[in-house]
Amino acid sequence: MAIKGKAKYYSGAVHSSKRIVLEDAFVQNDEVVIEIAQPANTVIDNIFVRFLGNVSLDGNADVGYELGTTSSDNDIATNADGFLDNGTSIPEGCLFGLNRAIGAAGGSGLPSHWKDGGGVFTETQGDVPSPAVHKAYSETERTVFFTTLCSNRVVTGGNKIEINVMFINLS
């Protein structure tokens, strides 16, 4: 067997992260938007959201999130009831993994809400006729926007979350 390509070897991908603590994280019938600086040449790999205070609602509600390249956008990820689906409380200490590896509710498999440039994320990008650049990747430093969503219910409790965004540096 002949080797025909020329290979250059470099160090592998490096992981980094940003940690944001958000008080008053959920607001009745409204969004809370925060900005996150994404370093150049990185892909957003995982986002972990930990509830530092309980969230109580005065009736059944949906509580979720969006992640986008512009404010209040959801072109990277979205799940309107990803934290609570028609329930009344989220206890302190809950941890959600919003990534393609463990799913939006912490289960196994790929969540249907992690998007790519051509639609929903699939096992391999090669299975599409016209691949697009994944929205979670950026060659330049940019701002991404994490948005919390809440139904039209009064929100009480600690209402505080910690957002850990994990990046893989591909340069």
* pLDDT tens digits, 60-86: 999 999 999 999 888 888 889 989 999
- pLDDT of 130: 65
Residue 22, classed as helix, strand or coil, is strand
Residues 149, 31 contacting (CB under 8 angstroms): yes
For the stretch 89-148, pLDDT in tens is: 999 999 998 865 433 333 333 344 444 443 344 444 445 566 667 788 899 999 999 999
Residue 11 lies in a domain: no
- pLDDT of 74: 86
Cα angle 132, 135, 137; round to 5: 100
Expressed as residue numbers, the domain containing 110 is 20-169
Residue 9 lies in a domain: no
CA distances (Å), origin 105, targets 10, 42, 49, 83: 36, 24, 11, 8
What pTM was computed for the model?
Answer: 0.81
Q: How far apart are CA 24 and CA 152, in angstroms?
A: 15
How many domains are contained in the chain?
1
Q: How far apart are CA 109 and CA 98, in angstroms?
A: 12
For the stretch 42-64, pLDDT in tens is: 988 889 999 999 999 999 999 99
Q: What is the mean pLDDT of the chain?
A: 82
Residue 71 lies in a domain: yes
Q: How far apart are CA 10 and CA 16, in angstroms?
A: 18
Q: How far apart are CA 157 and CA 82, in angstroms?
A: 19
Residue 12 lies in a domain: no
Q: Are strands 42-51 and 137-138 parallel, antiparallel or unpaired?
A: antiparallel
- pLDDT of 1: 64
